[in-house]
Each structure stands twice: as C-alpha cells, then as structure tokens.
Structure 1
Amino acid sequence: MTLNISPDDVCWAQAETISDTWLLQFLAIDILRPIADFILQHNRGNATEFAILRTGSYNISLRLQYEPHGATVIRFPQPGAVLFPEEKVIHEVSVMRFLTDQTTIPVPFILHSGTKQESPLALSPFILMEYLEHETKLYDALNTPGLPREQRGVLDPDITQEKLERLYAPMADVLLQLSLPALPRIGSLSQRDDFTWEVTRRPLSMNMNELVRLGCLPRSQLPSIDTNFPTASAYVQSLADVNLDRLLHQRNDAIGSSRTLRRWSSATLRRGGC
C-alpha cells in the first residue's frame, strides 16, 4: 500500500543544514592534516597525495595514496544525513567481514574502525580500509562516448554483445553469491568469533533512518536495538507499523490530499490505532 507521504520540509532543512555545515570543514587544511596523520598511524608508507575521494548522500570518503602504489580510504558517515552513525558503522563492518568470509566478492580489507571519540578530531565514527584499484566504473563503461559529464548517462548504442557480457558476468556472479548465504532471522549481523555469525540486532535500514530524519519520528518508536525478526511477515508488519506511526508524529506536509488522509485513517483503524 502506497500512501504517498511527503517529507517534513522543516525536518529536512534542519538535517541538510547540519550535514552541509559539517562537510564544509573538510576544505580546511587544519582538518585534513590530522586525518592524514591518523591514517598513517595504521598504515605507514610514503604518502604522495591526500584528497577527498567522494562525497555521497550519507558518507564522505578520503583517500591517501602511497608511493609506488596502493592507497587507503577513510570513510565517515555525515551527521544530519545519518541519524545512527555508530550503529551504521558497526553493521557495515560486520557485513564486509561476513562477505569476505563467506564469498569471493572483492571487498576492501578493513584496517581499523571506531567510534566518533576514537576518530581524528572526534569527527564521526569511521571505517579505515584498503582501496581497491580498478580500471573504470561500470557507468563509464556503459555510457555513450563523448556525452558531457553533466548529462545523465545513456547506454552506448554501439556497445557490443561481447563487451556487455564481459561487464555483466562479474556482476551476475556477485549477485549470485549474495543470494546464497542464509541466516535464521532477519536483522543485523554480529561476529561471535572467527567462524560464527549471528543476527542479534535490529535491521537498521535506510527507511528507518529517513523516517527519523525527514519524518520527525521519535527514535523511541523504532524497534529497539536488540530486536530481530523470525519471519518475513513479522518484519513486514513492523515496517508497516513504523511507517503509520510516522503519520502520528510528523508535523508538516505528511498528507498531500484528502484521499490519502482517508486511506491512512482506514489503515490506522484496522491496526487498532486512533
């Protein structure tokens, strides 16, 4: 059921301001130098270049390159964009190590990770990992040659079948390997020892993050951190409940039309709500 719920523009603006302000500090040498020094403590070498690798919607990554080859990346979740940064980093590290253990998918080796207080200048929780060298990006390999970078990519009409197979075969292998590992519950992974993995925490999803960030849902309305689910139906029911709870707490722009309001009211009454 789609209710077409819009984000709360006030919450959205506040979150964007926090994120943008935090990112601006990475333009200062007084911020970059301690980060580079921190990386060198964990992976010493003859450093040649240090720069922002990429700023995405939820993280910023910086890369320190070495001579004659090799590089290390440190990645920080952005405050304002990520509402549960410590939990997010713990889960990502667990998944990366799980994939390394259970599959042959190329995954960066994690050198170190830690909390905000353990990070350089207490910036944010972090993951410090090796950089995987690559020749190109799939986007660039598929894109029409000569298309301006500012334009949205278009599949090269002259691309050969051989090239498509060469590009998509490794992707198919990755997807197949991702589909094979099975766990008895739905949630987030914890590593008990070198060979044992268990689902012990809630499945912290992008949807949960956005409900709090853009919908002003109180964090207390989300499943507790030690919650996990025995079945898909139990998980889907929890998702439905949390998304409906958002409508009870979002102050602005939650309902776009009277029709949507009637559908929401009907769904709320069916689950015994107000």
Structure 2
Amino acid sequence: MQLCMRREQSDDISDNWLLQFINVEVLREVGQLVLMNSEGDDPEFAVLKKGFYNPTLRMKYKHSATNIRLTQPGASLFPEEKVQNEVAVMRYILDKTPIPVPFIHQFDSKEKSPLKLSSYIMMDYIEHDTKMHEALNYPGCPTEKRGHLDPNLDEGRLETLYGQAAGILL
C-alpha cells in the first residue's frame, strides 16, 4: 500500500513539473542558456519528445543543433548523480570507441540550471535517420507503448541493424 502511495506521489511530482514547460517564460529561460553556449544565427527553438526520464529541448541552426536534456523530478531517484554518470559514460565511449557521441557543451546541477528546474546536459544533436525502436517495431505501434518486433521485417535489414548494434557493443 505504501509503495503505491509513493508511486502516485512520484507521478504527481513528475506531472506537475512537466506543466512548467507550457509557460513561455520557462522556455525562454532555457533557450537563453542554450543560446549563451552555442554558435549560429537565426535559431529555431523546439521542445522534442519527452522520454521516460528526460524532456529534451533543441536549438536548431542552419548547419547544427544543440540539445538540452533536463532530468525530470519524480522519474529519477538521484538526478544529479544520473547526469554525472551519463556524462562520464559518454566521455568514456568517446575516448575508447569509434561510436559517435554528442559533444557535451555543459552539464550542471539543479541549483545552477535556468530557474533551478533540474540538473541538465547540454550537447550537440547527432542527426540520424531513425531510432532502433522505430526500425524494428511493427507498423502503427505508438512510440509511447512497448514495441514489438515486426514479423514482416526484411531479414537483411534485421541482420544489418543487429550487426551494427553488436559492432558497437563489441
């Protein structure tokens, strides 16, 4: 019973925190932080899809883009440590493998974020054609639902996708 109440409280915290991003002033503050740390002219600011633990906002320029990913209160138990660990892993992957990893412009704690929203990572956006989830999922399955392997997926495509993933893991 107590676990259910904690989960409901966590969901309430998370949902209420996300409502801030309807406010233009909140988005303006986040956008200003990205602009201070980016180069380019005539940027286009957009809220990207929210993942399970992080909303991501993007400042897009003519030839590049910068993302800022905020940790979502209520969705992660240790958001400061989560950001530090993600940055450490991305830097390790960059140093030790040929896997493309976004350049990290900045990361910081909730206390030093715009409006003290949450800890965050600001990084380059890497252009890509599709996500593995979308490439393997059966057509028509909403992205917010757990995916299912498309039984009609071409075997060659499947081998290519899993081969690339295996190459990265190895």
Please give the per-residue CA displacement for 1:171-195, whole angstroms capped at 9, x wherever unaligned. Answer: 001111xxxxxxxxxxxxxxxxxxx
> Alpha-carbon deviation of 1:48?
3.6
Of 51, 64, 67, the residue aligned with 1:70 is 64
1:155 aligns with 2:149: yes
TM-score (norm 1): 0.57
Of 77, 90, 98, the residue aligned with 1:96 is 90
The residue that corresponds to 1:37 in the other structure is 32
Aligned mates of 1:83, 1:159 — CA distance in 2: 38
Structure with bigger RCO (C-alpha 8 Å, 6+ apart): 1
Alignment of 1:20-31 (within 5 A): 20-31=15-26
> Alpha-carbon deviation of 1:77?
0.8
Alignment of 1:1-274 (within 5 A): 8-67=3-62, 69-145=63-139, 147=140, 149=142, 153-176=147-170
The letter for the 2-side match of 1:98 is Y
Aligned mates of 1:11, 1:90 — CA distance in 2: 25
The letter for the 1-side match of 2:95 is D
- Relative to 1, partners in 2 of residues 1:65 and 1:95: Cα closer, same or farther, differing over 3 Å? same
Q: How many residues align?
A: 169
The letter for the 2-side match of 1:59 is N
The letter for the 1-side match of 2:52 is S
Structure 1 segments unaligned to the other structure (5+ residues):
1-5, 177-274
Structure 2 segments unaligned to the other structure (5+ residues):
none
> Alpha-carbon deviation of 1:31?
0.5
> Alpha-carbon deviation of 1:142?
2.1
Aligned mates of 1:64, 1:155 — CA distance in 2: 33
Sequence identity percentage? 48
User: 1:47·1:64 contact (CA, 8 Å) conserved in 2?
Assistant: no
Which stretches of structure 1, 4 residues or more, deviate above 6 A after TM superposition? Answer: none
Q: CA RMSD in A?
A: 2.0
The more displaced of 43-52 and 95-104 is 43-52
User: 1:58·1:82 contact (CA, 8 Å) conserved in 2?
Assistant: yes
Please give the per-residue CA displacement for 1:6-43, whole angstroms capped at 9, x wherever unaligned. Answer: 87111111111111111100111110011111101101
- Relative to 1, partners in 2 of residues 1:152 and 1:16: Cα closer, same or farther, differing over 3 Å? closer
- Relative to 1, partners in 2 of residues 1:56 and 1:7: Cα closer, same or farther, differing over 3 Å? farther
SS in 1 for 2:27: helix
TM-score (norm 2): 0.89
